[in-house]
Amino acid sequence: MADYPTSKELIDNVNYKLPKKGWMDTPTTIRKGMYCYAGNPKSLETVGFPNARQWNPLDEDWKLPENWQEIIHNGFKERLENFRSFKIFMDICVRCGACADKCHFYIGTGDPKNMPVLRAELLRSVYRNDFTTAGKILGKLAGARKLTLDVLKEWWYYLFQCTECRRCSVFCPYGIDTAEITMMGRELLNLLGLNIDWIATPVSNCYKTGNHLGIQPHAFKDMLDFFVEDIEELTGINVAPNYNKKGADILFITPSGDVFADPGTYTCMGYLMLFHYLKEKYGLDVTWSTYASEGGNFGSFTSHEMMKRLNSKMYAEAKRLGVKWIIGGECGHMWRVIHQYMGTMNGPADFLEEPVSPITGTKFENAKSTKMVHIAEFTADLIKHGKLDLDKSRNDHIKLTYHDSCNPSRGMGLLDEPRYVIQNVCNHFYEMPPNTIREQTFCCGSGAGLNAGENMEQRLAGGLPRANAVKYVHDKFGVNMLGCVCAIDRAALPPLMDYWVPGVGVIGLHELVANALIFPGENKRTTDLRGEPLLGMEDEADE
């Protein structure tokens, strides 16, 4: 028996009733299934995070440093002085409530403190108490409250029930971005060593070994080589990738999730196949790196500083290898970091060239400073110029819908590129309802470091709106596959689908591309990358 409620029980528990008492007087209880385990002290130590220690969120005593209130107060002040966003967002919310029912966690749990406005008020109330005159004089009447241990615990609980998806920000008349507030809040919590292990340990692994599972260089190579064998079996073609190759044209970085976890692995095979195709046909030389073997940036779930420390590897490696520019794989928050932070943090990348596709001659004007191109942009360009030989019908066994990942949608605007690719590799494509896609897309419920195992109930509740929209197209059009361009999605959506919409699988964009890609001299394909028979090939595939 699974450790979480059935879907019926879960839904029965969701009502949007509010407590009689005001939210400040309603104590928060940290509930099993809705929180992640505390960060392992060893992981915190690796990267030098303060106050590393063994602690348990359920314990009364969180083993905080003596002067924890002072630490938070000073940290708060520093961030107000360093981030205009934070300062303005603390001041101008009018509590109009437009954001309230936009958060997937609120929709899926009915917990009022998951309304973005209230999540932000958890911090704002302390801000008023510490930094505004009215708050200091009028206290609670002015919506202010002191930072007590209970308040701190409440912060921790609800800041780790926000996936920093920014959906709320789309609807706010002032663009107040609760994700930004969550980022600040998590930075503050990190000052006290209050992290969760599903973030802290990947951070430490990324720092030390280059990727979040701590796969060492030789093992990383082994895993890719394993895919090489699989591909050879399927197509008869040996795609032999380059590792850490100096003087390659392009460095390719993707989330390491694609390297080890199904169904991301098939997307990874897709990349390998595409790059091999381009090498054979057009002489494009792409290299993988074991040092920069993580596209995702778990640091961004802890602090801006840690984000920068982990992100630095991309440019450092590109420089060391002397590549021309970088292509990034399918990932959500990785692209938020690359698109909105990397150039500022670790640029200027003047040792790289402005990206031009050597195959089509297209200049990627939009990436001319950061010099990193999204693989969906890259592939869309290849397709547009007729550089890929594609057989769409090889995806005919798939009825696809497409999930826009939060970060590329609301922190970048990558919406039509993946759709263009899909239209060219897939015959059956159905969009989910308009309020649930593009910039209004719903989070998978597991972003920002929340795709652990112990908080499954939280993830399934948070993923409800996404799953519900999939269910709509599943019932209406018989959709059986959910496409995405994010490694966390590929890890988080399969259990979500099994729970709410059984019968829908999850697939990465480049797995679809690779299914359709016709290699010169390849074996006749009877199955897709997963070994599932192609439509009309059921008999042959069995042989």
Partner 1 sequence: MNVNYLVSLVVVVALSFVPYFGIDAGLKMLFGIVIPYLAFAVFFVGVINRIVSWSRSPVPFRIPTTCGQQKSLPWFKQAKIDNPSTTVGVIARMALEIFLFRSLFRNTKMQLHKSENGPKITFQWELWLWLAALVFHYSFFVVLTRHLRFFAEPVPFFVQLLEKIDGIFQVGVPGVLISGFMLLLAATYLLVRRVIIPQVKYVSLVADYFPLFLIMGIAFTGIYMRYFEKVDIVGVKALTMGIITLSPQIPAGISTIFYVHLFLVSLLVAYIPFSKLMHMGGIFMSPTRNMANNNRATRHINPWNYPVKVHSYAEYEDDFREKMIEAGLPVEKE
Among left, alpha and beta (phi > 0; psi -120 to 50; other), residue 243 is: beta
Cis peptide before 263 (omega within 30 of 0): yes
Which residue of 113, 124, 153, 167 would you call a contact of ligand SF4, by CB under 6 A? Answer: 167
Of residues 325 through 344, those in contact with partner 1 by CB under 8 A are 338-341, 343-344
Element (H, E) at 538: helix 538-542
Comparing C-alpha atoms, which of 183, 192, 194 is closest to residue 70? 192
Q: Which residue has the tokens 């064998």?
A: 229
What is the DSSP annotation of 26-60? S-----TTSS-PBPPHHHHHHHT-SS-----TTSS
Distances (CA, A) of 89 to 123, 130, 170, 180, 364: 11, 16, 14, 9, 34
Sole residue written with tokens 């790059």: 275
Residues 6+ apart with CB under 8 A from 141: none
Closest to ligand SF4 by CB, 173 or 413: 173
- Is 174 near ligand SF4 (CB under 6 A)? yes
Q: Is 492 in the site for partner 1 (CB under 8 A)?
A: no
One residue of 43, 125, 163, 209 binding ligand SF4 per CB under 6 A: 163
The one among 4, 49, 76, 105 contacting ligand SF4 by CB under 6 A: 105
Within positions 394 to 453, which residues make up the interface with partner 1, using CB under 8 A?
Answer: 409-417, 420, 433, 435-436, 438-440
Residues 153-187 as b or e (16 or more Cβ within 10 Å = b): bbbbbbbbbbbbbbbbbbbbeeebbbbbbbbbbbb
By a kind-dependent CB cut-off of 5 to 8 A, residue 165 interacts, out of partner 1, ligand SF4, none, with ligand SF4
Give the residue among 89, 150, 196 at the shortest CA–CA distance from 455.
196
Taking CB under 8 A as the rule, which mask of x and - marks residues 185-224 in contact with partner 1?
Answer: ----------------------xxxx-----xxx--xx--
Please enumerate in sequence order all residues whose Cβ is within 8 A of that of 352, keeping only pairs 6 or more positions apart, or say none.
Answer: 318, 319, 323, 324, 325, 326, 371
Binding positions for ligand SF4, 68-97, rule CB under 6 A: 93-97
Does the footprint of ligand SF4 cover residue 103 (CB under 6 A)?
A: yes
- Where are the strands (E) in 114-268, listed by range? 242-243, 250-253
Nearer to ligand SF4 (CB atom), residue 97 or residue 502: 97
Least distance in Å: CB of 541 to partner 1?
33
By the rule CB under 8 A, 245 interacts with partner 1: yes
232 to 267, 273, 519: CA distances (angstroms) = 16, 10, 12
Binds 164: which of ligand SF4, partner 1, none (CB < 5-8 Å by kind) = ligand SF4
Figure out which of the listed residues 58, 63, 148, 173 binds partner 1, where binding follows CB under 8 A: 173
119 binds, among partner 1, ligand SF4, none (CB under 5 to 8 A by kind): ligand SF4
464 binds partner 1 (CB under 8 A): yes
Regarding 139 and contact with partner 1 (CB under 8 A), the answer is no
Please name which of 532, 66, 459 lies closest in space to residue 263, comparing C-alpha atoms.
532
Can residue 465 be called a binding residue for partner 1 (CB under 8 A)?
Answer: yes
142 forms part of the interface with partner 1 (CB under 8 A): yes
Take residue 520 and report the two structure tokens written for it. 């010169």
Binding mask 133-162 for ligand SF4 (x = CB under 6 A): -----------------------------x
412: partner contacted, choices partner 1, ligand SF4, none (Cβ within 5-8 A by kind) = partner 1
Distance between CA atoms of residues 285 and 291, nearest Å:
18
Query: What residues make contact with ligand SF4 under the rule CB under 6 A?
Result: 93-99, 102-103, 105, 116-117, 119, 162-168, 171-174, 176, 178-179, 182
